[in-house]
Amino acid sequence: MGRRLFDIGAATAALIVLSPLMLLVAIAIRMSSAGPVIFRAPRVGLHGRPFSMFKFRTMLAITGEAGSAITGNRDPRVYPLGRLLRRSKIDELPQLLNVLRGEMALVGPRPEDPGMVAAWYRAEHQSTLEVRPGLASPGSLYNFTHGEVQLAGPDAEAAYIERVLPVKLALDVVYVRRASFGYDLTVVLRTLFVIVAAGLGKRRFGEPPEMAEALELATGTPARARAAPRSQPDGVL
């Protein structure tokens, strides 16, 4: 209950503070691209229940944001302003409303598309569906700093399923195992750091501190029996 009250209070305060920015973004979207301002993305939430995750629309409405559920690094469906919104993560701000509605938390496993959950979630991933999904998590951080650059090829969905999703899910399983209010605060601070650093031009980030445990889970190989992964030179994220 305490965590839920914190989420409500923090989301309410963030919406009040950020409402001028969100209004400007809504006007800019309306002026730069025909279509609705808000996109409702189908996602799987707490206990496997489906819900609509709110985002500022970043894709051309003429495609209906149809096709692959995965957006490639240079996806032609994304219009110029949408690309900026995605890179800055401003497109995610409407999810503060999902937090107020009780569908999401500030920190929690990143919710996935129903098709991805049905096809690719294994037994060990089910724990991520037993807590509220969140705006931020170790998995979402990894996807932003390391995953998106791997989706530049002709088949972004296949690349996501093969190379990104297993690590992202493993990181979020580690989050669920370690979850605490203090840990949530560190994830929030790490997220803010990454967004600001990326906005200032930083493109290389170190591996998340949960990576060793996540790779052990994803590969089934104990960390001591696996060669240590090469870290990026910029420290951990």
- From CA 69, how far away is CA 63, in angstroms rounded? 13
Q: Are 15 and 8 in contact (CB under 8 A)?
A: no
What pLDDT does 64 receive?
A: 47
Helix (H, G, I), strand (E, B) or coil at 66: coil
Tokens linked to 120 = 């690719």
The string of pLDDT tens digits covering residues 61-116 is 864 445 677 888 778 889 999 999 999 999 999 999 999 999 999 999 999 999 99
The string of pLDDT tens digits covering residues 19-71 is 999 999 999 999 998 999 999 999 999 999 999 999 999 999 864 445 677 88
Rounded to whole angstroms, what are the CA distances from 13 to 6, 7, 105, 184, 185?
A: 11, 10, 14, 18, 16
Instruction: Tell whether the model's pLDDT for residue 228 goes beyond 90.
Output: no
CA dihedral 211, 216, 222, 228 (to 10 degrees): -30
pTM for the predicted model, two decimal places: 0.88
- Once rounded to an integer, what is the mean pLDDT over residues 206-221? 89
The string of pLDDT tens digits covering residues 130-173 is 999 999 999 999 999 999 888 877 788 999 999 999 999 999 99
Q: What percent of the chain shows pLDDT beyond 90?
A: 77
Domain boundaries along the sequence of the chain: 2-225
The string of pLDDT tens digits covering residues 6-18 is 999 999 999 999 9
Q: Are 111 and 53 in contact (CB under 8 A)?
A: yes
- Provide DSSP, 147-216: IGGGG-SS-HHHHIIIIIHHHHHHHHHHHHHH--HHHHHHHHHHHHHHHHHHHTT----PPPTTHHHHHH
Which one-letter amino acid corresponds to residue 83? R
Residue 11 C-alpha from the chain's centroid: 17
The string of pLDDT tens digits covering residues 143-155 is 999 998 888 777 8
